[in-house]
């Protein structure tokens, strides 16, 4: 499986083209993703910010799983598997 573009990813206010499009960039300014949505106010920016947090969220979940224990581990493992494109 191909690895994802290393984080951090960011959404700069200049990368919000309009309410329907935003651009996520990597640490070198390269485009990671274009985010498109309907014309609902703020939805595109909210989606883009969530996607931009993906590398850090994945790192946090992998760290949580490495610590072991706790009821949320199955959920964390499932989320990691989804992010990695593999089975839990």
Q: Taking residues 42-62, what's their average pLDDT?
A: 85
Contact indicator for 79, 61 with CB cutoff of 8 Å? yes
pLDDT score at 82:
79
Cα–Cα distance for residue pair 24/55, rounded to 1 Å: 12
Query: Over 80: is that where the pLDDT of 87 sits?
Result: no
Q: Between vectors from CA 78 to CA 1 and to CA 36, what angle results, nearest 5°?
A: 70
Q: Taking residues 47-52, what's their average pLDDT?
A: 85
Q: Residue 79 is encoded by which pair of tokens?
A: 């989320």
């Amino acid at each position: 499986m191909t690895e994802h573009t290393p984080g951090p990813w960011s959404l700069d206010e200049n990368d919000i083209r309009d309410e329907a499009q935003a651009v996520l960039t990597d640490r070198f300014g390269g485009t990671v993703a274009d985010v498109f949505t309907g014309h609902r106010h703020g939805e595109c920016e909210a989606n883009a910010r969530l996607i931009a947090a993906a590398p850090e969220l994945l790192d946090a979940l992998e760290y949580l799983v490495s610590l072991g224990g706790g009821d949320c581990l199955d959920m964390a493992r499932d989320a990691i598997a989804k992010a990695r494109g593999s089975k839990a």
